Amino acid sequence: MKPSSGAGRPAARSATPRHYLMCPPAHFDVVYSINPWMDPGKPVDPRLAMLQWQRIHDLFTELGHTVDLIEPLPGLPDMVFAANGATVHGGRALAARFRYEERSAEAPAYLSWLTANGFEAQQAAWTNEGQGDFLTAGDLLLAGSGFRTDRRAHAETEEYFGCPVISLTLVNGSYYHLDTALAILDEQTIMYYPEAFTPASQALLRRLYPDAVLATARDAACFGLNAVSDGRHVLLPAGATELTTQLRDRGYETIDLEVSELLRAGGGVKCCTLELHGSPGVASETTRELALALPLQEMISLDEAALPPHQEVAAAPARELPDPVASGGLTIVVTSVASDSHTWNLVYLQLALEELGHQVVNLGACVPDELLISECQRLRPGLAVVSTVNGHGFHDGMRLISRVRACPELASLPVVIGGKLGIAGPSGRAGRDQLRAAGFDAVFEEGTGMSALAALAGQLAAALSAEPAAEVTA
Ligand code: ARG
């Protein structure tokens, strides 16, 4: 939907009835600190906390939703944050396993409530903070990690629910759960604060949700993303003014709620709400297709391997892809080798290179040598990037580059190889030298990160744009 401008009013959205579980803040307090918002030195006002919680509860029922209550237990001051109790998707539940001892006794309470109320449920094997870190987006689950939920819980959840899980990594301690940095507006739409995520996760979100509502740092700091939507009404912490304007422009009805007292524990509207999702809806076709093309394990291992070297990219968050021609980018062919069927490394490289202003032709996995050669002859790219992670990169690479270099028109094409190459030798140096001697212009071994490749592509692009000028003056 296009944002409304002037006279054009956006079409109203439609709400669907929801089923929520909440826990009254009868024992709410801040007596320990497990996130940056919590300061046990500052007293909380339990009456005000109860009033703020009650308002959220009453609004849900006024809007026609079903709200069940779980009994608050003494000694568990964070139990009000019901979202963390479990992930509930398609009528099944995976109860939480909390990171911190202070909250661990909440897990069995939520598990028994769910079982007693007819949900097929079990406790997660890996650290997993429920809907704090797993959000149902149609028939997908968006999953967060970085502070609380263990990455291995993403795979466990994918297997348990049998639905694709998109693994995202959080990087800012103030947004320690996914639901503090991202909210589901409806099956196809999300809103999020990009800077709370790694560059790789930001790139992934942009791809999956090109129409997402993006929050500013101010909106995020008001906890504006800790919101609950029924598809039409969006209940969110007060103060996120730019966010509410954007939401209204898109036809959502926003309802601001005062949550100051709950925020002292790092909680807001969504934290207080565990949605008991029944049969899932459907994500948009593009989102779903992309999600299905990304095997979770590859997504996880690449994001993990890429994390430290990718900090440079973090400094320049790009929301829109630059125009490759205008930005003086290269045409880059990205490919794997014939024996390697991994794809996510290629998708990731494509995203990263495109963001740097290059135009990428991704040949995909299991590419026969002949195909790479014919495509390079046809496209005349400025660079070819061979990425392989199956451990046979050395042997495949040696064969491939000798064939490429045997074609006279490709003799000077810049070609680099990287990934998990399986090069023998303690430092891999002998292997690297052999690959270079055979004709690769650079060899990026596992752990090198993107910066070296980005720098090389930048140099090649600069050299290319300088070329015509040199010809004129010659
Ligand atoms: N004090 C709680 C904690 O740090 C707040 C939990 C907020 N819940 C959420 N779904 N984000 O665990």
- pLDDT (tens digit, 9 = 90+) per residue, 214-224? 999 999 999 99
pLDDT (0 to 100) of residue 6: 45
Q: Is residue 10, in this structure, part of any structural domain at all?
A: no
What is the tens place of the pLDDT at every residue in 353-364?
988 899 998 888
265 CA: nearest ligand 1 atom: 1
* pLDDT of res. 365: 79
263 part of a folded domain: yes
11, part of any domain: no
Domain count across the chain: 2
What proportion of the chain, given as a percentage, has pLDDT over 90?
Answer: 65
Could you give the 3-state DSSP secondary structure of residue 190? Answer: strand
- Answer yes or no: do 265 and 331 share one domain: no
In a domain, 248, yes or no: yes
Q: Note the pLDDT of residue 24.
A: 98
* 152 and 25 within one domain: yes
Helices (H), 419-450: 429-438
Across 104-133, average pLDDT: 97
Classify residue 425: in a domain, yes or no. Answer: yes
Same-domain pairing of 256 and 308: no
- 65, 89, 154, 177: which one is catalytic? 177
Helix (H, G, I), strand (E, B) or coil at 324: coil
Do residues 229 and 147 both lie within one domain? yes
**Residue 326 — very low, low, confident or very high, per pLDDT cuts 50/70/90?**
low
Which of residues 188 and 300 earns the better pLDDT score?
Answer: 188
* Active-site residue, 271 included: yes
Q: Based on the domain organization, do 41 and 175 belong to the same domain?
A: yes
| Domain end residue (candidates: 286, 313, 338) | 286
The pLDDT value recorded for residue 317 is: 34
Place of tokens 């740092």: 217
Residue 269 pLDDT greater than 90, yes or no: yes
Q: How far apart are CA 424 and CA 431, in angstroms?
A: 7
Answer whether residue 350 shows pLDDT above 60: yes
For the cut 60, the answer to whether the pLDDT of residue 123 exceeds it is: yes
CA 31 vs CA 71, 85, 223, 321, 411: distances in Å: 20, 20, 21, 46, 68
Best residue among 88, 99, 177 to mutate for probing ligand 1's pocket (most ligand atoms within 8 Å of CB) is 177
User: pLDDT at position 297, please?
Assistant: 67
Does residue 55 surpass a pLDDT of 50?
Answer: yes
Distance 86 CA to ligand 1 centre (A): 13
Contacts of 98 (CB under 8 A, 6+ apart): 84, 104, 106, 107, 127, 129
Residue 396 confidence (pLDDT) above 50: yes
Which CATH number do you get for residue 229?
3.75.10.10
Question: pLDDT tens-digit profile of 439-474?
Answer: 999 998 877 778 889 888 988 888 887 765 433 333
Q: Which atom of ligand 1 is nearest to the CA of 30?
A: 1
Mean pLDDT of 40-59: 97
Q: Ligand 1: residues whose CB is within 6 Å?
A: 34-35, 38, 78, 81, 83-84, 103, 132, 177, 179-180, 265-267, 271
Residues 225 and 313 in one domain: no
Say whether pLDDT at 201 is over 70.
yes
CATH code of the domain in which 358 resides: 3.40.50.280
Please confirm, yes or no, whether 177 is among the known catalytic residues.
Answer: yes
Of the three residues 286, 304, 337, the one that is the final residue of a domain is 286
Residue 6 included in any domain: no
User: Which atom of ligand 1 lies nearest, measured to the CA of 179?
Assistant: 11
pLDDT beyond 80 at 73: yes
Distance 315 CA to ligand 1 centre (A): 28
Candidates 222, 271, 272, 376; catalytic one: 271
For residue 300, give the nearest of 131, 124, 149 by alpha carbon: 149
Whether residues 384 and 277 share a domain: the answer is no
pLDDT band of residue 298 (cuts 50, 70, 90) is: low
User: Are 306 and 282 found together in one domain?
Assistant: no
- Residue 40 sits in the same domain as residue 180: yes
Domain interval for residue 383: 296-466
- Are residues 198 and 248 located together in one domain of the fold? yes
| pLDDT of 291 | 84
- Statement to judge: residues 37 and 135 lie in one domain: yes
- Res 313: pLDDT: 28
Ligand 1 atom nearest 133 alpha carbon = 10
Calculate the average pLDDT of the chain.
88
Domain boundary (286, 316, 342) is at: 286
Is 309 a member of any domain?
A: yes
CA of 469 to the centre of ligand 1 (A): 59
Q: 183 to each of 32, 88, 127, 151, how far by Cα in Å?
A: 27, 16, 22, 20
3-state secondary structure at position 343 = coil
Which residue's alpha carbon is at the smallest distance from atom 1 of ligand 1? 265
- For ligand 1, atom 7: residue with the closest CA: 267
Predicted local distance difference test score (pLDDT) of residue 300 = 67
Q: How far is the CA of 74 from the centre of ligand 1 (A)?
A: 17
Quote the CA–CA distance of 55 and 228 in Å, as a whole number: 14
2 domain-assigned: no
For residue 81, report the distance from its CA to the centre of ligand 1, in Å.
Answer: 6
Give yes or no for residue 2 having a pLDDT over 60.
no
Same domain (yes/no): 277, 300: no
* Ligand 1 atom 8 nearest Cα: 271
Residue 426 has pLDDT above 50, yes or no: no
Determine the distance separating the centroid of ligand 1 and the alpha carbon of 361, expressed in angstroms: 43
Please give the distance, rounded to the nearest whole angstrom, from the Cα atom of residue 156 to the centre of ligand 1: 22
**Ligand 1 pocket test: which of 38, 39, 78 has the largest number of ligand atoms within 8 Å of its C-beta?**
78
What value does the mean pLDDT take over residues 419-430? 68
Q: To test the ligand 1 pocket, which listed residue (84, 149, 172, 261) has its Cβ within 8 A of the most ligand atoms?
A: 84
